[in-house]
Amino acid sequence: MEIRKKTWPKYFQDILDGKKKFEVRLADFDIHEGDVLVLEEYNPETKEYTRRSIKKKVNFVTKFNPAEIHEIDEIKEHGFWLIGLGDDNLNAKQMQEKVDKTIKQYGGYWEPLSMMARITEEIGELARAINIKYGGKKSKFEGDGREIEEELADVFYTTLAIANKFDIDLGKVLMEKIEKSHEKYKEVYDDGN
């Protein structure tokens, strides 16, 4: 189910920037995990919608009555902290922003065919590292064939750079692809059991 709610510009921007990952709402409507919350930016000064909106899938919902936890006088005096919980891992958008900042710091993006050549080179280095570690390829000298994770990171970095070059939100597109191609991936990665 899709549920539409207004949100003020400062909160809207924090959600758009990926900083605000929670909503606190009066529980005067039904909402469940799996629903889609459409947050529509609303300017309280002009009392008008700005026509910007964000769709977010609901992955957690809980309802509580603050008066059951604290006395009403305490709530009035202190209010509540809203605390976002996260981890140290960057999401795809943050990774793309970090790559973008680094590339612009060192000069700028290459042309598309040069970027394609670059990712092909990085994939070749990854293949070489895997072949040295698990295949029949012998290393030619000490340190020949870096660690697989380093080569994989180079491939991923270049993938993020290509996504940036073409203005692609890689995290969003990947999640859409996984949902759309679930059966296809199931067949591809079926281990036969």
Tell me the CATH number at 148: 1.10.287.1080
Strand partners, 56: 37
The CA distance from 101 to 98, in Å, is 5
Q: Averaged over 99-124, what is the pLDDT?
A: 95
Q: Is residue 36 situated within a structural domain?
A: yes
Same domain, residue pair 153 and 125: yes
* Residue 127: pLDDT over 80: yes
pTM exceeds 0.75: no
pLDDT on residue 146: 67
Q: Averaged over 43-69, what is the pLDDT?
A: 91
Q: Is residue 85 situated within a structural domain?
A: no
Contact 36, 58 (CB under 8 A): yes
* Residue 152: pLDDT over 90: yes
Q: Is residue 83 situated within a structural domain?
A: no
Domain that holds residue 152: 92-188
